[in-house]
Amino acid sequence: MGGSSGRSDFGLVDVYDAAADRWTPGPELEPRGTHGAVVYRGALHVFGGESQALGRNLATVLRLGADGWVNAPPMPTARNYARAVAVGDAVYVVGGSLEAGNSHGAVGSKVVERYQPVAR
């Protein structure tokens, strides 16, 4: 889902069905690359990333719901290459680069933030 190449961002999503051994298109998300993702509370969540077009890191959190992607509460710290891990009833967004524009060469951060929105 999503991705970037050079100065371009993508929002394409492909869904793999293991039982049928095939890929199908999913609902596109706002273009971004180098984001973290995890399944949490039965929904796919995307955390942060980088916008090549805007030249900055993103703090946005997107959740895939029945009607497509919706905004969830943003992360306190915008970053790219952060990893999201579900632990218990929360998600921890770990590390990532605070530097936009040099994603592959930037030094990772020691930022760890807990994500747990209000119960639905």
Domain membership of residue 59 (yes or no) is: yes
Q: Which residue segment(s) compose the domain that 93 sits in?
A: 35-115
**109-119 tens-digit pLDDT:** 899 999 987 65
Domain membership of residue 20 (yes or no) is: no
Residue 62, exposed/middle/buried by CB under 10 A (0-12, 13-18, 19+)? Answer: buried
Domain membership of residue 22 (yes or no) is: no
**Average of per-residue pLDDT across 94-102:** 86
**6-30 tens-digit pLDDT:** 788 999 999 999 999 999 999 999 9
Domain membership of residue 90 (yes or no) is: yes
**Total tally of structural domains belonging to the chain:** 1
Domain membership of residue 61 (yes or no) is: yes
Domain membership of residue 62 (yes or no) is: yes
Please list the residues that pair with 61 across neighbouring strands. 47, 72
Sign (positive or negative) of CA dihedral 36, 10, 30, 109 = positive
Domain membership of residue 6 (yes or no) is: no
pTM score, whole prediction: 0.89
Domain membership of residue 51 (yes or no) is: yes
